[in-house]
Amino acid sequence: MAEQAELDLKSTAILWLLSEGHSSVEILESHPELDREDVAAAAQLALDIVKRPREAGNYVDAVRKNHPHAYAPWTPESDSELARLHREGSSRAEIARRLGRRPNAIAKRLEKLKTEGALEAGNGAGDSGPEG
């Protein structure tokens, strides 16, 4: 296990140097403790990380436990419901709860609808702060 941690540290250092624009030849010349296999291992580690399935799905799944429609596309129906709740004076927090979305998503969507002219600016309690 200690060998794996050392490899990770080496790989991180090599990748850092590469990201600063140093060539592999420059790295090997200035760090005699490293060899071509170390550079190759760092490159392979980077490729493995890039090929790994994104963990964004796990994040979205976690958020959706509390906000079932988080990150779902807005539909004309959900926009209409948002506008109706806003006109009725519901807070952003209440709208978020009813639409299954995060309060910040409600704030951003209200702003977008206002910018597009689909919603009058300044009406509804939903304008009162990020959490309603």
Q: What is the average per-residue pLDDT within 45-55? A: 72
Greater pLDDT, 13 or 55: 13
Does the structure show a pLDDT above 80 at 50? no
Rounded to two decimals, the pTM is 0.52
Q: What is the average per-residue pLDDT within 28-43? A: 92
**Architecture of the structural domain at 67-127:** Orthogonal Bundle (1.10)
Q: What is the average per-residue pLDDT within 6-16? A: 79
70: left (phi over 0), alpha (psi -120 to 50) or beta: beta
Q: What is the DSSP string of 79-129?
A: HHHHHHHHHTT--HHHHHHHHTS-HHHHHHHHHHHHHTTSS-TT-SGGGSS
Question: Could you read off the pLDDT of 86-123 as tens digits, one per residue?
Answer: 999 999 999 999 999 999 999 999 999 999 988 876 65
Question: Could you read off the pLDDT of 63-89 as tens digits, one per residue?
Answer: 899 999 999 999 999 999 999 999 999
Instruction: Kindly state the tokens that stand for 57.
Output: 């799905």
Domain limits of the chain? 2-51, 67-127
